[in-house]
A and B are shown apart, each in its own frame.
Chain A
Amino acid sequence: MRVKTRLPEFLFPVETDSWLTVLRLGLGLQVTLYALSLRTDWTYLFSGTARKVAEALLSLQGHFIPSLGWFVALAARLGVPEETVLLLAWLGLFVSGCALLIGVGCRFSAIAAWFLHLCAAKSGGFLSYGMDNFMTIGLFYLMLSPLPDRASLDWRLRDLRPKNPELLGFWHRVLQLHLCIIYFFSGLTKCLGSGWWDGSNVWRALIRPPFNVIDPEALVRWKDFLPLAGILVCLLESGYPFFIWSSRTRKIWLFGICAMHLLIGVAMGMYLFSLVMIVLNVAAFGPGLIRPEHARISMQPQGAVS
């Protein structure tokens, strides 16, 4: 009986939309920077045989997984060349990122950003890495969450309100639980490798091209700290689901995880990977940490949303 009442309370808590604001702003910035970072290589990476091979393999997984090939095939019938389609896809991604950042057409922008990024990630299957997965995860939750949030221009200027504000807490909880699963398994599998305990994996990660931002000559002077860094990574990740929920340890753990990602970004040149991880973490567990939240959303669902 207790579980029956406590589970819905846990899964559907009353929440403000602060976390959604963080997620929208963060992912808006992420999508914009993602598009800008690949601006010069976009056509090269996503055109030609490599894309076709990735899409052919993808079709074995399912026929309804979006890819850039859908647009290319459709445009070919209209006589539009592949390069133009790819350019339009890039532009769409960039504009949707900017729109998310300022909060205009939030719902549509979130769906467009998720869809276009997913198309690029799946078409460039052999070129994708962890960052793409986390962007897909974040954008997936963003587009399903009750948008717009109070900080968006949709709310302030267009007076739009979310249809199902009662789902704010649910999607926030899903994001929190998902992060716990991610870190727990990531940490646990690292703990199984001997290289994380003696620091050799930290060394290898930092000197392996193209992550070798720091000169190994400088790094070797800090060799005594490498085992400590390795153990800290294991501890932070595998301990995440146990220490992030308690108000006493949440601040330490969130700060530790964000610092870890910041260091990964700086020391390995994985800026976008770090950004998306920090955004997801701060959105999931950041709001209310420094300043307790009082204002709860209490409004009636409205028909008009973006």
Chain B
Amino acid sequence: MLRVVAEGPTILPLSFKNFSRKAQELISIAPAEQLSPSNPLRESMNTYAQLAGIESGYGYFAPNVPSGYTLVFELHYRDGRVEYEVPSVRSAAAELRMAGLLDNIGRTPYDELREILLKTLVQSIWRKHPELQSVRAILGSLILPSVREFEQGKRESYEFLYAYDFSLQDPPPKTNPH
């Protein structure tokens, strides 16, 4: 709750946002939060929460529905050709998960983690196209039109966020042709 209000925007006045931030800071210095990650008590609590499925909050699509992310691979072949491809999976169920993965890639504040996750997706592209020389992964933020904008003809658009270049010097074996 405090995180939702602190990170906003919400319908509450700005003073609530400041109060929530302070309250969050106070909670973060609570004795349990001060324990080191390897502390048996903290580890036991974390483990129990993960086993019971209660480790995360329940604010799905709250307070507002966030924008999504999109990823495009720019494939550079050895003969100079350039093609574009988006990450693909076979089933609708996996497509929902892929959207979740892109959200995680887009939202993470850690550059290294973002790069590692993009690299894992690039690897699957590489297996599919072993003749590639390099791949540029372009991550964009999805901008959704409002109802009024949609009626005026505006459609979803993308805003550039990051681009990562992966040069492919040691191609992995073609074992998983997904």
Q: Measuring CB to CB, which residues of chain A are less than 8 angstroms from any residue of chain B? A: 34, 37-41, 43-45, 47-50, 53, 58, 60-66, 83, 118, 122, 124, 126-130, 132-137, 140, 181-183, 185-186, 188-197, 199-201, 203-205, 207-210, 216, 220, 223, 226, 269-270, 272
**Which of A49, A61, A66 is B116 in contact with, Cβ under 8 Å?**
A49
Nearest 7 Cβ contacts at the A-B interface:
A136-B53, A193-B63, A37-B93, A189-B62, A41-B94, A62-B47, A189-B59
Asked if B120 CB lies within 8 Å of chain A CBs, one says yes
Question: Is the CB–CB distance between A43 and B1 below 8 Å?
Answer: no
Give how many A-B residue pairs fall within 8 Å (CB-CB).
Answer: 190
Question: Is the CB–CB distance between A201 and B52 below 8 Å?
Answer: no
Given contacts A38-B93, A41-B91, A186-B58, whether A127 and B101 have CB atoms under 8 Å apart is: yes
Tell me the bound Cα distance from A209 to B95 in angstroms.
10
Given contacts A41-B90, A122-B50, A189-B4, whether A204 and B65 have CB atoms under 8 Å apart is: yes
In the complex, the chain B residue whose C-beta lies closest to that of A34 is B93
Question: Is the CB–CB distance between B94 and A186 below 8 Å?
Answer: no
Q: Which residues of B contact A65 (CB under 8 A)?
A: 46-47, 50-51
**Chain A binder among B7-15, B22-30, B159-167:** B7-15
Given contacts A37-B91, A62-B46, A208-B142, whether A190 and B99 have CB atoms under 8 Å apart is: no
Question: Is the CB–CB distance between A197 and B50 below 8 Å?
Answer: no
Q: Which residues of A contact B56 (CB under 8 A)?
A: 133
Tell me the bound Cα distance from A134 to B1 in angstroms.
19
Q: Which residues of B contact A183 (CB under 8 A)?
A: 58
**Which of B43, B93, B120 is A49 in contact with, Cβ under 8 Å?**
B120
Asked if B144 CB lies within 8 Å of chain A CBs, one says yes
Q: Which residues of B contact A192 (CB under 8 A)?
A: 4-5, 10-12, 62-63
Tell me the bound Cα distance from A50 to B101 in angstroms.
10
Asked if B18 CB lies within 8 Å of chain A CBs, one says no
Q: Which residues of B contact A34 (CB under 8 A)?
A: 93
Question: Is the CB–CB distance between B62 and A186 below 8 Å?
Answer: yes
**Which of B62, B91, B93, B176 is A193 in contact with, Cβ under 8 Å?**
B62
Q: Measuring CB to CB, which residues of chain B are less than 8 angstroms from any residue of chain A? A: 1, 4-5, 9-12, 37, 43-44, 46-47, 50-65, 67-68, 70, 89-101, 104-105, 113, 116-117, 119-120, 123-124, 142, 144, 146-147, 150-151, 156, 176, 178
Question: Is the CB–CB distance between B92 and A201 below 8 Å?
Answer: no
Tell me the bound Cα distance from A47 to B172 in angstroms.
14
Tell me the bound Cα distance from A269 to B37 in angstroms.
38
Tell me the bound Cα distance from A45 to B90 in angstroms.
11
Question: Is the CB–CB distance between B147 and A200 below 8 Å?
Answer: yes
- 15 A-B pairs whose Cβ atoms sit less than 8 Å apart in the complex: A37-B91, A40-B91, A48-B123, A62-B50, A63-B43, A64-B43, A64-B47, A118-B50, A133-B55, A185-B1, A194-B11, A195-B63, A196-B63, A199-B147, A207-B144
Question: Is the CB–CB distance between B120 and A186 below 8 Å?
Answer: no
Tell me the bound Cα distance from A39 to B89 in angstroms.
11
CB distance from A197 to the nearest CB of B (A): 7
Q: Which of B1, B64, B70, B116 has the most CB of A within 10 A?
A: B64
Question: Is the CB–CB distance between B51 and A118 below 8 Å?
Answer: yes
CB distance from A283 to the nearest CB of B (A): 15
In the complex, the chain B residue whose C-beta lies closest to that of A134 is B53
Tell me the bound Cα distance from A61 to B39 in angstroms.
10
